[in-house]
Structure 1
Protein backbone atom coordinates (compact mmCIF):
# COMPACT_ATOMS: atom_id res chain seq x y z
CA UNK A 1 0.00 0.00 0.00
CA UNK A 2 1.11 3.59 -0.46
CA UNK A 3 1.85 5.52 2.67
CA UNK A 4 1.89 9.20 3.44
CA UNK A 5 5.62 9.88 3.38
CA UNK A 6 5.14 13.18 5.19
CA UNK A 7 3.69 11.36 8.18
CA UNK A 8 6.47 8.80 8.16
CA UNK A 9 9.09 11.55 7.91
CA UNK A 10 7.55 13.26 10.92
CA UNK A 11 7.65 10.09 13.01
CA UNK A 12 11.15 9.16 11.91
CA UNK A 13 12.51 12.64 12.51
CA UNK A 14 15.70 12.76 14.56
CA UNK A 15 14.10 15.37 16.77
CA UNK A 16 12.31 13.67 19.69
CA UNK A 17 8.56 14.11 19.69
CA UNK A 18 6.36 14.54 22.72
CA UNK A 19 4.44 11.49 23.90
CA UNK A 20 1.19 12.87 22.51
CA UNK A 21 2.72 13.75 19.13
CA UNK A 22 4.10 10.23 18.91
CA UNK A 23 0.71 8.68 19.67
CA UNK A 24 -1.12 11.00 17.26
CA UNK A 25 1.26 10.24 14.38
CA UNK A 26 1.02 6.48 14.92
CA UNK A 27 -2.77 6.52 15.21
CA UNK A 28 -3.02 8.50 11.98
CA UNK A 29 -0.88 5.93 10.19
CA UNK A 30 -2.90 3.09 11.71
CA UNK A 31 -6.16 4.60 10.45
CA UNK A 32 -4.70 5.01 6.96
CA UNK A 33 -3.71 1.34 6.92
CA UNK A 34 -7.05 0.16 8.32
CA UNK A 35 -8.91 2.19 5.70
CA UNK A 36 -6.70 0.57 3.05
CA UNK A 37 -7.90 -2.83 4.25
CA UNK A 38 -4.81 -3.84 6.25
CA UNK A 39 -6.55 -5.02 9.42
CA UNK A 40 -3.53 -7.22 10.23
CA UNK A 41 -1.70 -4.04 11.27
CA UNK A 42 -4.12 -3.68 14.17
CA UNK A 43 -3.36 -7.28 15.16
CA UNK A 44 0.34 -6.36 15.30
CA UNK A 45 -0.42 -3.40 17.56
CA UNK A 46 -2.57 -5.44 19.95
CA UNK A 47 -0.01 -8.26 20.04
CA UNK A 48 2.71 -5.75 20.90
CA UNK A 49 0.60 -4.54 23.84
CA UNK A 50 0.87 -8.00 25.37
CA UNK A 51 4.55 -8.46 24.62
CA UNK A 52 5.62 -5.07 25.93
CA UNK A 53 3.06 -4.36 28.60
CA UNK A 54 5.59 -2.57 30.82
CA UNK A 55 6.19 0.06 28.14
CA UNK A 56 4.28 3.29 27.73
CA UNK A 57 1.42 3.36 25.24
CA UNK A 58 3.34 5.57 22.82
CA UNK A 59 6.39 3.31 22.82
CA UNK A 60 4.25 0.20 22.28
CA UNK A 61 2.91 1.86 19.11
CA UNK A 62 6.44 2.74 18.04
CA UNK A 63 7.78 -0.79 18.50
CA UNK A 64 4.81 -2.33 16.67
CA UNK A 65 5.16 0.10 13.77
CA UNK A 66 8.91 -0.30 13.32
CA UNK A 67 9.18 -4.06 13.95
CA UNK A 68 5.85 -5.95 14.15
CA UNK A 69 7.71 -9.23 14.73
CA UNK A 70 9.60 -8.03 17.82
CA UNK A 71 9.17 -10.29 20.85
CA UNK A 72 11.71 -9.06 23.44
CA UNK A 73 13.60 -5.80 23.28
CA UNK A 74 16.32 -4.12 25.30
CA UNK A 75 19.05 -1.53 24.88
CA UNK A 76 22.57 -2.20 23.56
CA UNK A 77 24.23 -2.35 26.97
CA UNK A 78 21.44 -4.36 28.54
CA UNK A 79 21.99 -7.07 25.93
CA UNK A 80 25.73 -6.89 26.66
CA UNK A 81 25.08 -7.45 30.37
CA UNK A 82 22.96 -10.47 29.46
CA UNK A 83 25.78 -12.01 27.43
CA UNK A 84 24.42 -11.13 24.02
CA UNK A 85 25.70 -8.70 21.38
CA UNK A 86 23.74 -6.67 18.85
CA UNK A 87 24.51 -7.95 15.36
CA UNK A 88 26.55 -5.71 13.09
CA UNK A 89 24.32 -3.50 10.94
CA UNK A 90 21.19 -4.06 13.04
CA UNK A 91 18.87 -1.06 12.94
CA UNK A 92 17.64 0.05 16.35
CA UNK A 93 13.99 0.58 17.20
CA UNK A 94 13.53 4.17 18.25
CA UNK A 95 11.50 4.89 21.37
CA UNK A 96 11.26 7.91 23.65
CA UNK A 97 12.90 8.08 27.05
CA UNK A 98 12.45 10.75 29.69
CA UNK A 99 15.01 13.41 30.50
CA UNK A 100 14.89 13.85 34.27
CA UNK A 101 16.45 16.74 36.12
CA UNK A 102 16.79 17.69 39.77
CA UNK A 103 15.12 20.75 41.25
CA UNK A 104 16.73 21.93 44.47
CA UNK A 105 14.30 23.07 47.12
CA UNK A 106 14.56 26.49 48.65
CA UNK A 107 16.50 26.53 51.90
CA UNK A 108 13.37 27.44 53.84
CA UNK A 109 11.49 24.44 52.41
CA UNK A 110 14.43 22.07 52.85
CA UNK A 111 14.81 22.95 56.51
CA UNK A 112 11.25 21.77 57.17
CA UNK A 113 12.15 18.25 56.06
CA UNK A 114 15.87 17.45 55.80
CA UNK A 115 15.13 14.07 54.22
CA UNK A 116 13.69 15.70 51.11
CA UNK A 117 16.19 18.21 49.84
CA UNK A 118 15.63 17.88 46.10
CA UNK A 119 12.98 16.55 43.77
CA UNK A 120 13.24 14.86 40.39
CA UNK A 121 11.34 16.65 37.63
CA UNK A 122 10.73 15.70 33.97
CA UNK A 123 12.44 18.03 31.51
CA UNK A 124 11.48 16.44 28.21
CA UNK A 125 12.23 13.42 26.06
CA UNK A 126 15.14 12.00 24.11
CA UNK A 127 15.56 9.32 21.50
CA UNK A 128 16.53 5.88 22.78
CA UNK A 129 17.17 2.80 20.68
CA UNK A 130 16.33 -0.77 21.60
CA UNK A 131 16.95 -4.01 19.71
CA UNK A 132 14.88 -7.16 19.42
CA UNK A 133 16.39 -10.44 20.57
CA UNK A 134 16.39 -11.56 16.91
CA UNK A 135 18.91 -8.77 16.24
CA UNK A 136 21.33 -10.16 18.83
CA UNK A 137 23.52 -13.20 19.26
CA UNK A 138 25.18 -14.86 22.23
CA UNK A 139 24.21 -16.97 25.23
CA UNK A 140 20.71 -18.34 25.50
CA UNK A 141 18.42 -16.40 27.79
CA UNK A 142 16.72 -18.00 30.76
CA UNK A 143 13.00 -18.20 30.04
CA UNK A 144 9.92 -18.39 32.16
CA UNK A 145 7.58 -21.32 31.74
CA UNK A 146 5.23 -20.20 28.99
CA UNK A 147 1.67 -21.36 28.54
CA UNK A 148 0.76 -22.82 25.16
CA UNK A 149 -2.89 -23.58 24.69
CA UNK A 150 -3.52 -23.98 28.41
CA UNK A 151 -3.87 -21.06 30.83
CA UNK A 152 -2.30 -23.10 33.64
CA UNK A 153 -2.44 -21.24 36.94
CA UNK A 154 -3.49 -17.99 35.31
CA UNK A 155 -7.18 -18.61 35.99
CA UNK A 156 -6.48 -18.91 39.71
CA UNK A 157 -4.22 -15.84 39.66
CA UNK A 158 -6.86 -13.79 37.87
CA UNK A 159 -9.60 -14.89 40.27
CA UNK A 160 -7.35 -13.94 43.19
CA UNK A 161 -6.72 -10.54 41.57
CA UNK A 162 -10.46 -9.99 41.19
CA UNK A 163 -11.10 -11.06 44.77
CA UNK A 164 -8.59 -8.46 45.92
CA UNK A 165 -10.68 -5.84 44.13
CA UNK A 166 -13.89 -7.08 45.72
CA UNK A 167 -15.15 -8.77 42.54
CA UNK A 168 -16.61 -12.26 43.06
CA UNK A 169 -16.45 -15.02 40.43
CA UNK A 170 -19.08 -17.77 40.25
CA UNK A 171 -20.33 -20.39 37.79
CA UNK A 172 -23.93 -20.64 36.61
CA UNK A 173 -25.79 -22.62 33.96
CA UNK A 174 -28.48 -19.97 33.96
CA UNK A 175 -26.44 -17.46 31.96
CA UNK A 176 -26.47 -19.71 28.84
CA UNK A 177 -26.05 -19.14 25.95
CA UNK A 178 -23.68 -16.43 27.21
CA UNK A 179 -20.23 -17.72 28.16
CA UNK A 180 -19.81 -15.05 30.81
CA UNK A 181 -21.53 -11.99 32.24
CA UNK A 182 -20.39 -8.98 34.24
CA UNK A 183 -22.73 -7.51 36.84
CA UNK A 184 -20.58 -4.78 38.37
CA UNK A 185 -18.79 -6.37 41.32
CA UNK A 186 -19.60 -9.93 40.24
CA UNK A 187 -18.71 -12.15 37.28
CA UNK A 188 -20.58 -15.30 36.31
CA UNK A 189 -19.05 -17.92 34.01
CA UNK A 190 -20.79 -20.72 32.14
CA UNK A 191 -19.43 -24.06 33.42
CA UNK A 192 -18.16 -26.70 31.00
CA UNK A 193 -15.89 -24.49 28.90
CA UNK A 194 -12.39 -25.60 28.01
CA UNK A 195 -9.71 -24.06 30.22
CA UNK A 196 -8.57 -21.80 27.36
CA UNK A 197 -12.14 -20.65 26.68
CA UNK A 198 -12.79 -20.12 30.39
CA UNK A 199 -9.67 -17.99 30.77
CA UNK A 200 -10.47 -15.89 27.69
CA UNK A 201 -14.05 -15.38 28.90
CA UNK A 202 -12.83 -14.43 32.38
CA UNK A 203 -10.41 -11.86 30.93
CA UNK A 204 -13.21 -10.46 28.73
CA UNK A 205 -15.52 -10.02 31.72
CA UNK A 206 -12.66 -8.66 33.85
CA UNK A 207 -12.14 -5.98 31.20
CA UNK A 208 -15.82 -5.04 31.52
CA UNK A 209 -15.45 -4.80 35.30
CA UNK A 210 -12.37 -2.59 35.05
CA UNK A 211 -13.49 -0.47 32.11
CA UNK A 212 -17.22 -0.31 31.77
CA UNK A 213 -18.86 0.08 35.16
CA UNK A 214 -18.49 3.83 35.60
CA UNK A 215 -18.18 6.89 33.37
CA UNK A 216 -16.94 4.93 30.38
CA UNK A 217 -20.11 2.82 30.34
CA UNK A 218 -22.25 5.88 29.69
CA UNK A 219 -19.71 7.43 27.30
CA UNK A 220 -19.49 4.42 24.94
CA UNK A 221 -21.85 2.24 22.96
CA UNK A 222 -22.43 -1.43 23.70
CA UNK A 223 -20.59 -2.35 20.47
CA UNK A 224 -17.52 -0.38 21.53
CA UNK A 225 -17.55 -1.90 25.02
CA UNK A 226 -17.72 -5.43 23.62
CA UNK A 227 -14.93 -4.76 21.14
CA UNK A 228 -12.71 -3.25 23.84
CA UNK A 229 -13.27 -6.23 26.14
CA UNK A 230 -12.55 -8.65 23.29
CA UNK A 231 -9.39 -6.73 22.40
CA UNK A 232 -8.18 -7.00 26.02
CA UNK A 233 -8.87 -10.76 25.91
CA UNK A 234 -6.84 -10.97 22.69
CA UNK A 235 -3.89 -9.02 24.13
CA UNK A 236 -3.75 -11.04 27.34
CA UNK A 237 -4.35 -14.37 25.58
CA UNK A 238 -1.52 -13.76 23.13
CA UNK A 239 0.78 -12.65 25.94
CA UNK A 240 0.34 -15.90 27.91
CA UNK A 241 0.72 -18.09 24.82
CA UNK A 242 -2.88 -18.99 24.06
CA UNK A 243 -3.91 -19.26 20.43
CA UNK A 244 -7.03 -17.16 20.12
CA UNK A 245 -7.16 -16.20 16.46
CA UNK A 246 -6.63 -12.78 14.97
CA UNK A 247 -7.85 -9.45 16.26
CA UNK A 248 -11.32 -9.03 14.89
CA UNK A 249 -11.59 -6.93 11.76
CA UNK A 250 -14.83 -5.66 13.30
CA UNK A 251 -12.64 -3.56 15.54
CA UNK A 252 -12.28 -1.16 12.61
CA UNK A 253 -15.81 0.07 13.27
CA UNK A 254 -14.68 1.18 16.70
CA UNK A 255 -13.29 4.52 15.58
CA UNK A 256 -15.58 5.24 12.58
CA UNK A 257 -13.09 7.75 11.27
CA UNK A 258 -12.56 9.38 14.66
CA UNK A 259 -8.83 9.29 15.42
CA UNK A 260 -9.19 10.60 18.97
CA UNK A 261 -11.72 7.89 19.81
CA UNK A 262 -9.45 5.17 18.45
CA UNK A 263 -6.46 6.55 20.38
CA UNK A 264 -8.48 6.73 23.61
CA UNK A 265 -9.81 3.21 23.13
CA UNK A 266 -6.42 1.68 22.35
CA UNK A 267 -4.88 3.40 25.35
CA UNK A 268 -7.48 2.05 27.81
CA UNK A 269 -7.08 -1.41 26.23
CA UNK A 270 -3.32 -1.21 26.77
CA UNK A 271 -3.67 0.01 30.36
CA UNK A 272 -6.25 -2.63 31.26
CA UNK A 273 -4.25 -5.42 29.62
CA UNK A 274 -1.11 -4.31 31.46
CA UNK A 275 -2.95 -4.34 34.78
CA UNK A 276 -4.21 -7.89 34.18
CA UNK A 277 -0.86 -9.17 32.91
CA UNK A 278 0.92 -7.72 35.94
CA UNK A 279 -1.50 -9.66 38.16
CA UNK A 280 -0.70 -12.88 36.27
CA UNK A 281 3.07 -12.66 36.64
CA UNK A 282 4.45 -15.53 38.76
CA UNK A 283 7.24 -15.07 41.27
CA UNK A 284 10.56 -15.69 39.54
CA UNK A 285 14.22 -15.82 40.55
CA UNK A 286 15.99 -12.48 40.44
CA UNK A 287 18.39 -13.67 37.73
CA UNK A 288 15.58 -14.92 35.52
CA UNK A 289 13.56 -11.77 36.03
CA UNK A 290 16.52 -9.63 34.97
CA UNK A 291 17.09 -11.75 31.88
CA UNK A 292 13.53 -11.67 30.60
CA UNK A 293 12.60 -8.10 31.50
CA UNK A 294 11.55 -5.88 28.62
CA UNK A 295 13.02 -2.64 29.94
CA UNK A 296 15.68 -1.19 32.15
CA UNK A 297 15.55 2.02 34.16
CA UNK A 298 17.33 3.79 31.33
CA UNK A 299 15.00 2.52 28.61
CA UNK A 300 11.56 3.20 30.06
CA UNK A 301 9.63 6.11 28.65
CA UNK A 302 7.44 7.98 31.07
Structure 2
Protein backbone atom coordinates (compact mmCIF):
# COMPACT_ATOMS: atom_id res chain seq x y z
CA UNK A 1 0.00 0.00 0.00
CA UNK A 2 1.31 3.43 -0.95
CA UNK A 3 1.95 5.76 1.96
CA UNK A 4 -0.95 8.11 2.50
CA UNK A 5 -0.67 11.83 1.86
CA UNK A 6 -2.94 14.42 3.45
CA UNK A 7 -4.46 17.59 1.98
CA UNK A 8 -6.32 20.21 3.98
CA UNK A 9 -5.99 23.23 1.65
CA UNK A 10 -8.51 24.10 -1.05
CA UNK A 11 -5.66 25.80 -2.92
CA UNK A 12 -3.73 22.56 -3.38
CA UNK A 13 -2.93 21.89 -7.04
CA UNK A 14 -4.31 18.34 -6.94
CA UNK A 15 -7.61 19.60 -5.56
CA UNK A 16 -7.81 22.25 -8.27
CA UNK A 17 -7.19 19.54 -10.86
CA UNK A 18 -10.03 17.45 -9.45
CA UNK A 19 -12.41 20.41 -9.73
CA UNK A 20 -11.45 21.00 -13.36
CA UNK A 21 -11.91 17.31 -14.21
CA UNK A 22 -15.29 17.32 -12.51
CA UNK A 23 -16.57 20.39 -14.35
CA UNK A 24 -14.85 20.41 -17.75
CA UNK A 25 -15.44 17.84 -20.48
CA UNK A 26 -12.54 19.34 -22.42
CA UNK A 27 -10.16 18.53 -19.55
CA UNK A 28 -11.46 14.97 -19.27
CA UNK A 29 -10.85 14.44 -23.00
CA UNK A 30 -7.41 16.08 -22.91
CA UNK A 31 -6.11 14.09 -19.94
CA UNK A 32 -8.03 10.85 -20.45
CA UNK A 33 -9.01 11.00 -16.78
CA UNK A 34 -12.35 11.35 -15.02
CA UNK A 35 -13.79 11.55 -11.52
CA UNK A 36 -15.92 8.90 -9.84
CA UNK A 37 -17.48 9.12 -6.42
CA UNK A 38 -19.01 6.64 -4.01
CA UNK A 39 -18.31 3.08 -2.94
CA UNK A 40 -20.69 1.46 -5.44
CA UNK A 41 -19.19 3.32 -8.38
CA UNK A 42 -15.69 2.56 -7.12
CA UNK A 43 -16.43 -1.17 -6.90
CA UNK A 44 -18.10 -1.24 -10.33
CA UNK A 45 -15.17 0.60 -11.91
CA UNK A 46 -12.83 -2.05 -10.53
CA UNK A 47 -15.17 -4.77 -11.78
CA UNK A 48 -15.08 -3.12 -15.21
CA UNK A 49 -11.25 -3.21 -15.15
CA UNK A 50 -10.78 0.54 -14.98
CA UNK A 51 -7.43 1.81 -13.75
CA UNK A 52 -7.79 3.88 -10.58
CA UNK A 53 -4.93 6.36 -10.35
CA UNK A 54 -5.68 8.34 -7.20
CA UNK A 55 -8.09 7.82 -4.32
CA UNK A 56 -9.22 10.70 -2.10
CA UNK A 57 -11.00 9.84 1.12
CA UNK A 58 -12.45 12.09 3.77
CA UNK A 59 -11.15 12.00 7.32
CA UNK A 60 -13.75 10.53 9.62
CA UNK A 61 -16.07 9.47 6.77
CA UNK A 62 -14.23 6.65 5.02
CA UNK A 63 -11.66 4.38 6.70
CA UNK A 64 -8.32 3.76 5.01
CA UNK A 65 -8.64 0.08 5.89
CA UNK A 66 -11.66 -0.17 3.58
CA UNK A 67 -9.62 1.18 0.67
CA UNK A 68 -6.91 -1.38 1.41
CA UNK A 69 -9.57 -4.07 1.31
CA UNK A 70 -10.99 -2.81 -2.02
CA UNK A 71 -7.61 -2.57 -3.73
CA UNK A 72 -5.92 -5.63 -2.20
CA UNK A 73 -6.19 -7.76 -5.34
CA UNK A 74 -4.99 -5.12 -7.81
CA UNK A 75 -1.71 -5.63 -9.63
CA UNK A 76 -0.95 -1.97 -8.95
CA UNK A 77 -1.64 0.41 -6.09
CA UNK A 78 -3.32 3.80 -6.58
CA UNK A 79 -2.06 6.86 -4.75
CA UNK A 80 -4.00 7.37 -1.51
CA UNK A 81 -4.75 10.87 -0.27
CA UNK A 82 -6.72 11.71 2.84
CA UNK A 83 -8.45 15.08 2.77
CA UNK A 84 -10.16 17.25 5.32
CA UNK A 85 -13.97 17.31 5.39
CA UNK A 86 -13.91 20.85 4.03
CA UNK A 87 -11.82 19.81 1.03
CA UNK A 88 -13.94 16.73 0.41
CA UNK A 89 -17.17 18.73 0.45
CA UNK A 90 -15.63 20.99 -2.19
CA UNK A 91 -14.60 18.22 -4.60
CA UNK A 92 -17.63 15.96 -4.11
CA UNK A 93 -20.54 16.39 -6.53
CA UNK A 94 -23.18 14.64 -4.47
CA UNK A 95 -25.21 16.32 -1.77
CA UNK A 96 -24.93 13.19 0.36
CA UNK A 97 -21.57 11.55 0.17
CA UNK A 98 -19.78 8.46 1.41
CA UNK A 99 -16.35 10.00 1.68
CA UNK A 100 -14.53 8.36 -1.24
CA UNK A 101 -13.67 9.89 -4.61
CA UNK A 102 -11.16 8.75 -7.24
CA UNK A 103 -9.41 9.77 -10.44
CA UNK A 104 -9.60 6.99 -13.03
CA UNK A 105 -8.48 6.43 -16.61
CA UNK A 106 -11.18 6.53 -19.29
CA UNK A 107 -11.59 3.80 -21.89
CA UNK A 108 -11.58 4.55 -25.61
CA UNK A 109 -14.92 2.87 -26.58
CA UNK A 110 -13.75 2.34 -30.16
CA UNK A 111 -16.47 0.73 -32.27
CA UNK A 112 -14.11 -1.60 -34.13
CA UNK A 113 -12.94 -3.06 -30.80
CA UNK A 114 -16.45 -3.96 -29.64
CA UNK A 115 -16.85 -7.71 -29.14
CA UNK A 116 -20.11 -9.52 -28.43
CA UNK A 117 -20.26 -12.19 -25.75
CA UNK A 118 -23.13 -13.98 -27.52
CA UNK A 119 -23.54 -15.24 -31.09
CA UNK A 120 -27.07 -13.84 -31.10
CA UNK A 121 -26.48 -10.33 -29.73
CA UNK A 122 -29.09 -7.85 -28.57
CA UNK A 123 -27.78 -4.30 -28.80
CA UNK A 124 -29.13 -0.86 -27.91
CA UNK A 125 -28.19 2.08 -30.14
CA UNK A 126 -28.99 5.64 -29.06
CA UNK A 127 -28.52 8.44 -31.57
CA UNK A 128 -27.32 11.82 -30.31
CA UNK A 129 -28.57 11.62 -26.71
CA UNK A 130 -27.82 14.85 -24.87
CA UNK A 131 -29.30 14.69 -21.38
CA UNK A 132 -27.02 12.91 -18.90
CA UNK A 133 -30.06 11.63 -17.01
CA UNK A 134 -31.42 9.91 -20.11
CA UNK A 135 -28.05 8.37 -20.94
CA UNK A 136 -27.72 7.11 -17.40
CA UNK A 137 -31.20 5.61 -17.50
CA UNK A 138 -30.45 3.90 -20.83
CA UNK A 139 -27.32 2.35 -19.33
CA UNK A 140 -29.25 1.14 -16.28
CA UNK A 141 -31.82 -0.50 -18.55
CA UNK A 142 -29.06 -2.11 -20.61
CA UNK A 143 -27.50 -3.46 -17.43
CA UNK A 144 -30.83 -4.78 -16.14
CA UNK A 145 -31.42 -6.59 -19.43
CA UNK A 146 -27.81 -7.79 -19.66
CA UNK A 147 -27.51 -6.46 -23.21
CA UNK A 148 -24.51 -7.37 -25.30
CA UNK A 149 -23.64 -3.72 -25.96
CA UNK A 150 -24.74 -0.11 -25.92
CA UNK A 151 -23.66 2.01 -28.87
CA UNK A 152 -23.90 5.80 -28.81
CA UNK A 153 -24.18 7.41 -32.23
CA UNK A 154 -23.00 11.00 -32.66
CA UNK A 155 -22.53 11.53 -28.90
CA UNK A 156 -23.29 15.02 -27.60
CA UNK A 157 -22.07 14.42 -24.04
CA UNK A 158 -18.93 12.59 -22.93
CA UNK A 159 -19.58 9.32 -21.14
CA UNK A 160 -17.61 10.37 -18.08
CA UNK A 161 -19.72 13.39 -17.26
CA UNK A 162 -20.27 13.07 -13.48
CA UNK A 163 -24.03 13.27 -13.99
CA UNK A 164 -23.96 10.27 -16.34
CA UNK A 165 -21.92 8.29 -13.84
CA UNK A 166 -24.32 9.27 -11.07
CA UNK A 167 -27.55 8.64 -13.01
CA UNK A 168 -26.26 5.31 -14.32
CA UNK A 169 -25.33 4.33 -10.72
CA UNK A 170 -22.03 3.10 -12.12
CA UNK A 171 -23.45 1.00 -14.98
CA UNK A 172 -21.34 3.08 -17.36
CA UNK A 173 -18.40 1.03 -16.06
CA UNK A 174 -19.85 -2.44 -16.58
CA UNK A 175 -21.80 -2.15 -19.84
CA UNK A 176 -19.88 -2.84 -23.06
CA UNK A 177 -20.09 0.60 -24.72
CA UNK A 178 -18.91 1.91 -28.07
CA UNK A 179 -19.32 5.25 -29.81
CA UNK A 180 -19.18 6.35 -33.44
CA UNK A 181 -21.05 8.26 -36.10
CA UNK A 182 -24.27 7.02 -37.62
CA UNK A 183 -22.71 5.94 -40.92
CA UNK A 184 -20.00 3.80 -39.37
CA UNK A 185 -22.35 2.24 -36.82
CA UNK A 186 -24.79 1.20 -39.54
CA UNK A 187 -21.90 -0.32 -41.49
CA UNK A 188 -20.70 -2.13 -38.33
CA UNK A 189 -24.15 -3.60 -37.66
CA UNK A 190 -24.53 -4.78 -41.24
CA UNK A 191 -21.04 -6.31 -41.28
CA UNK A 192 -22.01 -8.29 -38.18
CA UNK A 193 -25.38 -9.34 -39.68
CA UNK A 194 -27.35 -7.55 -36.99
CA UNK A 195 -30.91 -6.53 -37.87
CA UNK A 196 -31.66 -2.84 -37.35
CA UNK A 197 -34.99 -2.01 -35.67
CA UNK A 198 -35.59 1.73 -35.55
CA UNK A 199 -38.16 3.30 -33.24
CA UNK A 200 -40.10 5.64 -35.53
CA UNK A 201 -43.55 7.13 -36.01
CA UNK A 202 -43.89 6.47 -39.75
CA UNK A 203 -43.75 3.35 -41.94
CA UNK A 204 -43.59 1.33 -38.73
CA UNK A 205 -44.75 -2.03 -37.45
CA UNK A 206 -46.09 -2.50 -33.93
CA UNK A 207 -43.20 -3.70 -31.81
CA UNK A 208 -45.08 -6.70 -30.39
CA UNK A 209 -45.61 -7.96 -33.94
CA UNK A 210 -41.90 -7.82 -34.68
CA UNK A 211 -39.46 -10.66 -34.05
CA UNK A 212 -36.28 -9.81 -32.19
CA UNK A 213 -35.11 -13.42 -31.89
CA UNK A 214 -32.26 -13.03 -34.37
CA UNK A 215 -29.24 -10.70 -33.85
CA UNK A 216 -30.91 -7.33 -33.26
CA UNK A 217 -30.11 -3.68 -32.65
CA UNK A 218 -32.88 -1.56 -31.15
CA UNK A 219 -32.26 2.03 -32.24
CA UNK A 220 -33.77 5.05 -30.48
CA UNK A 221 -33.45 8.77 -31.11
CA UNK A 222 -34.15 11.89 -29.11
CA UNK A 223 -37.67 12.79 -28.01
CA UNK A 224 -37.43 16.12 -29.82
CA UNK A 225 -36.28 15.04 -33.30
CA UNK A 226 -36.35 11.24 -33.37
CA UNK A 227 -33.94 9.34 -35.59
CA UNK A 228 -32.15 10.76 -38.60
CA UNK A 229 -33.23 9.72 -42.09
CA UNK A 230 -30.06 7.67 -42.50
CA UNK A 231 -31.20 5.28 -39.80
CA UNK A 232 -34.72 5.02 -41.16
CA UNK A 233 -33.46 4.34 -44.67
CA UNK A 234 -31.21 1.54 -43.45
CA UNK A 235 -33.62 -0.09 -41.03
CA UNK A 236 -34.51 -3.74 -41.33
CA UNK A 237 -37.85 -2.63 -39.90
CA UNK A 238 -39.16 0.54 -38.31
CA UNK A 239 -41.08 -0.22 -35.13
CA UNK A 240 -43.58 1.71 -33.05
CA UNK A 241 -45.07 1.59 -29.57
CA UNK A 242 -48.79 2.40 -29.97
CA UNK A 243 -49.89 5.50 -28.07
CA UNK A 244 -53.43 5.81 -26.73
CA UNK A 245 -53.19 9.30 -25.25
CA UNK A 246 -52.76 12.78 -26.65
CA UNK A 247 -49.00 12.69 -27.19
CA UNK A 248 -46.99 10.69 -29.69
CA UNK A 249 -43.76 10.07 -27.78
CA UNK A 250 -42.37 8.96 -24.44
CA UNK A 251 -39.12 9.52 -22.62
CA UNK A 252 -36.40 7.81 -24.66
CA UNK A 253 -35.26 5.62 -21.78
CA UNK A 254 -38.83 4.42 -21.16
CA UNK A 255 -39.32 3.61 -24.84
CA UNK A 256 -36.02 1.76 -24.98
CA UNK A 257 -36.91 -0.27 -21.89
CA UNK A 258 -40.25 -1.34 -23.37
CA UNK A 259 -38.63 -2.47 -26.62
CA UNK A 260 -35.66 -4.17 -24.96
CA UNK A 261 -37.75 -6.20 -22.55
CA UNK A 262 -40.13 -7.25 -25.31
CA UNK A 263 -37.07 -8.58 -27.15
CA UNK A 264 -35.95 -10.35 -23.97
CA UNK A 265 -39.42 -11.82 -23.51
CA UNK A 266 -39.44 -13.23 -27.04
CA UNK A 267 -35.98 -14.70 -26.64
CA UNK A 268 -37.00 -16.49 -23.46
CA UNK A 269 -39.85 -18.38 -25.15
Bin the TM-score by the shorter chain: under 0.3
Which structure features the higher share of strand residues?
Answer: 2
TM (norm. structure 1) is: 0.20
More helix per residue: 1
Q: TM-score, normalised by structure 2?
A: 0.22
Higher relative contact order (CA 8 A, sep 6+): 1
